[in-house]
Chains A and B, each alone.
Chain A
Amino acid sequence: MSAWRVATALLRKDLLAEWRTKDVSTAILLFGFTIAVSFSFAFEPTPDEARVIAGGLLWLGFLFSAVLGLNRGFARETANNCLEALRLAPADPGSLYLGKLLSNVLLLLVAELVLLPVFGLFFNLALWSRPGWLLLILLLGTWGVAALGTLFSAVSANTRMQELMLPLLLLPLTVPVLVAAVDLTTLLLFNRPMSEGSMQFRLLAGFDIIFTLLCWLLFGYVLEE
């Protein structure tokens, strides 16, 4: 059976369940909104200061919100031991990983697109001056976080300290993604040529490819009891 068929089945199922419950999106949006408000009142930056720090704050907000969303997203598989039914299926574990990854990327991206205007409003930022580049940075950064997050949410689902384990595993390893995405977002906010960030783009793309392949290969081991 094709990996794509399995992956899209899982994607459809996750999106349908999310449409019904709004579990993941509510968690991400509320947490992201709280972070935007908190940072805005804590720093009270001038417009120039805002452009310097906004990239970092934006991605920290996205990353912490993503941790919450990834945890809740995988909780759906552990309820009623649905994970067991996935393990029983005649599907390559890599295709199950691909399905979960796609649904995580999609949900995180949608939440980020909703949160962007909130950050823009509180920090008085012109984020949409170059929408194509912004979307590319969002996609590459989110894919990197989700690639590792999907694997680690499966790892942490089998542990007693599930809520704690995911950030402990994920945050240190996503530092390269965070640094590169922050640099690129700052370039965007300062209206600098994006060619100055070619190194960061390559880093993000390389990270995404390597960790997607690695996690795809390792997912079967993680699913084993």
Chain B
Amino acid sequence: MPPPHTPADRSPRIVLQQLSKFFGRFVALDRLSLTFEPGEFVVVLGRNGAGKTTLLRTLALLLQPSEGELQFDNQPVSRLPHSFKQRLGFVGHEIALYDDLTAEENLHFFARLYGINDGVRRAAEVLAEMDLADRATSRVRNLSRGLKQRLALARAWLHQPDVLLLDEPATGLDAPTRERMHEWLARCHQSGRTVIASSHDLAESLRPATRVLLLENGRALFDGPNAPGLAEELRAKLVAAAREGAR
């Protein structure tokens, strides 16, 4: 089923200008300047601690930049209304779902939070889309890791955001489910949405991407369009970065 409405021109243009994020003395993002055009599918790669999660959390408006500026459609984030968050969907390392509620109860709650009028119908749609319809009445605590992850994706997709921000979304998913997730992400992308996803799996994650961003120490080590043979080049860069880091 193709993702409904949201034309390509609705996705915002995202601009980072000399953006830095510090945690105490640790520099997670270091004067990063990037532009994400509407409708791009960007895969963010990098070693552990390279800044992938911080970048995605900053884009999801969960973290405020320490320095520099983040803009959506030329608007600095400080000027964006709360309602702008309606246009963003985010899945982080944790599922952010209530253990004691069922899958559908969780989605009904978030539907109300996002002001979705027919939340019950929409929740049923999303559960079916994620192959979770038969687990709708199961409590989250009784679901397997993979099912929880799919439900977390369903939560992020519930309000049909223009920008999907996914931090290692394939975590805990088996191979067939990962395949289905990639197909679903490709459909989201084809509908004009911007998808920015981090990953550790170089070969698999590159397939649907239009652009690749490789981070190292909070800086962009590589930023360019996806192309055949890029995986080898990136692997070499990652190995070199790891050797450099070990010195």
A-to-B contact residues, CB < 8 Å: 1, 5-6, 8-10, 12-13, 16-17, 20-21, 76, 79-82, 84-92, 224-225
Contact = CB atoms under 8 A, between A and B. Distances in A.
Contacts of B115: 1, 5, 90
B97 A90 contact: no
Given A1-B83, A9-B112, A90-B83, A85 B99 contact: no
A13 B94 contact: no
Main secondary structure of the interface of A (DSSP, over half): helix
B59 to A, nearest CB: 12
B90 A81 contact: no
Main secondary structure of the interface of B (DSSP, over half): loop
Contacts of B63: 225
Interface in B149-175: 155
Q: Which 3 A-B pairs have the closest CB atoms?
A: A9-B112, A85-B96, A81-B94
28 contacts: A1-B114, A5-B115, A9-B113, A10-B113, A13-B98, A13-B109, A17-B98, A76-B98, A79-B99, A80-B94, A80-B95, A80-B99, A80-B140, A81-B96, A82-B96, A82-B98, A84-B62, A84-B96, A85-B96, A85-B155, A86-B113, A88-B85, A88-B88, A88-B96, A89-B113, A90-B82, A90-B85, A90-B115
Nearest to A94: B82
Nearest to B85: A90
Contact of A20 (B96, B100, B109, B113): B100
B142 interface: no
B118 to A, nearest CB: 14
Contacts of A1: 83, 114-115
B16 interface: no
Interface string B87-105: 0101011111111110001
B26 interface: no
Contact of A82 (B62, B93, B97, B114): B97
